[in-house]
């Protein structure tokens, strides 16, 4: 009985300790979204630009709209501090269903190496054009 009671208090203590840890507040630099060209260390897809294009096109071609899609898709997106993609905005005039399928593929992309500026990981806006033939 004593062992069970000790274990109970141990887990309660651990739970309280883990819940009380607060995330570090973001610096002023980290709150901004920076343009790709203005930061010191550019975000990069692991494997490089060619691997990113291959991943996106391969997965878009698997969608219903992507199978027969031909054309150019111009967009921008944000590479977050954790390497995920967010805020996909299309600059091309394409059908809504194609936009949604393409956006879903983008959001499921493997994580990038994030951008850095003045020693901080930063959110970075990236412009990209895909030519689909």
Minimal CA–CA distance to 92: which of 66, 104, 74, 76?
74
Q: Give the position of tokens 């490089």.
A: 48
Q: What is the pLDDT of residues 78-113, one digit of tens each?
A: 999 999 999 999 998 999 999 999 999 999 999 999
pTM: 0.78
Q: Structural domain of residue 51, as residue ranges? A: 45-132
Report if residue 83 sits inside a domain: yes
Report if residue 122 sits inside a domain: yes
Higher pLDDT, 23 or 56: 56
Residue 98 sits in a domain whose CATH number is 3.30.1150
Report if residue 94 sits inside a domain: yes
Find how far residue 122's CA is from the centre of its chain.
Answer: 12
Counting the structural domains of the chain, the total is: 1
Mean pLDDT of 42-54: 96
128: tokens are: 């990209």
Report if residue 35 sits inside a domain: no
For residue 97, CA distances in Å to 17, 63, 66, 127 come to: 47, 10, 10, 21
Find how far residue 120's CA is from the centre of its chain.
Answer: 17
């Amino acid at each position: 009985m004593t062992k069970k009671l000790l274990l109970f208090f141990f887990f309660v203590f651990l739970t309280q300790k883990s819940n009380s840890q607060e995330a570090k507040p973001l610096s002023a630099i980290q709150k901004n979204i920076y343009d790709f060209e203005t930061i010191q260390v550019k975000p990069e897809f692991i494997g490089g630009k060619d691997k990113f294009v291959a991943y996106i096109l391969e997965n878009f071609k698997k969608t219903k709209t992507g199978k027969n899609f031909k054309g150019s898709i111009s967009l921008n997106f944000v590479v977050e501090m954790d390497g995920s993609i967010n805020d996909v905005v299309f600059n091309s005039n394409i059908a809504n269903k194609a936009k949604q399928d393409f956006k879903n593929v983008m959001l499921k992309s493997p994580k990038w190496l994030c951008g850095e500026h003045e020693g901080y990981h930063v959110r970075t806006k990236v412009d990209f054009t895909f030519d689909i033939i």
